[in-house]
Amino acid sequence: MIQNDLELKCTQERIAWFEGLVAQFRVNVPPENFPAMAEGYLAEIEKMHDEVMEYLKRPAYQPVPAEAA
């Protein structure tokens, strides 16, 4: 769970990095191998994106819920 703006920035950078990798896979990996190579990265991108959205839904003054930390 993202707890502050620094973690938000790092997560967004990691998403961009993974998206870049998958974009390279689309071009450089044989089509029959692409799904297996991309699957884990795409799942991680989706998970991180969900975390970003949850963080952005909270006002800046609202603390991270204790059970989520």
Q: Rounded to an integer, what distance in angstroms lies between the CA atom of residue 11 and that of residue 36? A: 23
Higher pLDDT, residue 60 or 57? 57
List, for residues 2-39, the tens digit of each pLDDT value: 999 999 999 999 999 999 999 999 999 999 999 999 99
Q: At what angle do helices 34-57 and 5-28 cross, to 10 degrees?
A: 160
Amino acid at residue number 20: G
Q: Looking at residue 60, what is its pLDDT?
A: 85
The more confident residue out of 61 and 39 is: 39
